[in-house]
Amino acid sequence: MYFASDNACPVHPQVMQALNAANSGYAPSYGGDEIMDRVRAQIRDIFEAPEAAVYLVATGTAANVLSLACLTRPWDAVYCHELAHIQMDEAGAPEFYTAGVKLKPVAGADAKMTPDTLKQALSTVDHGSVHSVQNGALSLTNVTELGTTYSVAEITALSGIAKQAGMKVHLDGARFANALVALGCSAAEMTWKAGVDVVSFGGTKNGLMGVEAVVIFDPRLAWEFELRRKRGAHLFSKHRYLSAQMEAYLSDGLWLELARHSNGMAAVLAEAISALPGGSLAHPVEANMVFANWPASGHQAAKTAGAQFHHWPHGESCEGKAPDTPVCARLVTSWSTTMEDLDAFLKLAAR
């Protein structure tokens, strides 16, 4: 019964097997390995982007901040939702890697900015005046931090506003696969066809040990990315072990299959909790995260039995609450969540 995060789950067996298989003999270092050649081709194929530059790093934060650094200059603003990972959970890594951009938090329900809230944020920056930061980049997150998704039309609309304001668009896809299967569109439709310039293409939360790809649709940024990655100490000598994970992930649709599974598990949770007396969803459940309320007694029962999850928001608690007071929690499912987990958990939550 582990719903605290999708980054605490194990590595998928097929990925582990690929790592074992890659562990033979010498291989060129720093990304010169043959597996990486295949990964590059796989990703270009998936994104229908034959010229895209493709790189691997080992953490999602690295993918995000290296991408943003390539899209901005130090005096720029980056617009993101006020709950965005880059704003709330990266301890200033974006500011560090970009040499000081200013993140402009954008409001919006369910962790989604809207054309209106984005325009409102844009109005606080006097682009073109030397006294102000300048418009640099828009960063969207899909799946969002509250488990919702941006549709292709929504991404297109926000990108359009960004482009008109002179900005590039970054997509934080830490849960890219989960968003993709939720939307039922192609990777190209969710990204460059909708105006996205650079994608953090997550793998770690969906079954890898620690690999994220960065997909850059304009290959003229490639060399700068390589220098920034090296300078950020994120260029791996034994790179083949990153490549091998990603190759396994992308082969035979494993990445989509795992995302479908975790999204499905979340749907089950959402439906069951909604049906509880006093149960309700705090945000729409569109991928693999459930933000839901149910009575404190159920929280306590689950916690006591060893279930792991976070109350929401940060600081919320079921302690000392009357048994039937609804309390909110954040439940994250993953490729390794099982129906048995759910059954056990839901029985406790229902107490």
Q: Which of residues 290-329 bind a copy of itself (CB under 8 A)?
A: 308, 314-315
Q: Among residues 67, 134, 243, 293, which is the contact residue for a copy of itself, using CB under 8 A?
A: 134
Closer CB to a copy of itself, 223 or 324, in the complex = 223
Asked if 172 interacts with a copy of itself (CB under 8 A), we say no
Residue 333 sits in the site that holds a copy of itself (CB under 8 A):
no
> Whole-number minimum distance, CB 75 to a copy of itself, in Å?
5
> Residue 204 Cβ, how far from a copy of itself at the closest point, in Å?
6
**Minimal distance, residue 10 CB to a copy of itself, in Å:** 5
Q: Considering beta carbons, is residue 102 or 260 the nearer one to a copy of itself? A: 102
Cα–Cα dist 294/146, whole Å: 17
Q: How far is the CB of 303 from a copy of itself (least distance, A)?
A: 16
* 62-80 core/surface letters (b: 16 or more CB in 10 A; e: else): bbbbbbbbbbbeeebbbbb
- Residue 212's DSSP bridge partners are 57
Among residues 50, 153, 220, 237, which is the contact residue for a copy of itself, using CB under 8 A?
237
Residue 27 makes contact with a copy of itself by CB under 8 A: yes
CB of 291 to a copy of itself, least distance (A): 18
Strand (E) positions, 98-189? 102-106, 134-141, 168-173
**b/e map 328-347, b = 16+ CB within 10 Å:** bbbbbbbbbbeeebbebbbe
- Restricted to residues 65-124, the positions that interact with a copy of itself (CB under 8 A) are 65-66, 73-76, 82, 88-93, 95-97, 99-103, 123-124
Residue 26 lies near a copy of itself (rule: CB under 8 A):
yes
Q: Please, are residues 134 and 104 in contact by the beta-carbon 8 Å criterion?
A: no
- Give the three-state DSSP class for 142: coil
Report the C-alpha dihedral over residues 92, 56, 256, 206, rounded to 10 degrees: -50
> Is residue 61 part of the contact set for a copy of itself (CB under 8 A)?
yes
CB 214 within 8 A of CB 201: yes
**70 neighbors 221 (Cβ within 8 angstroms):** yes
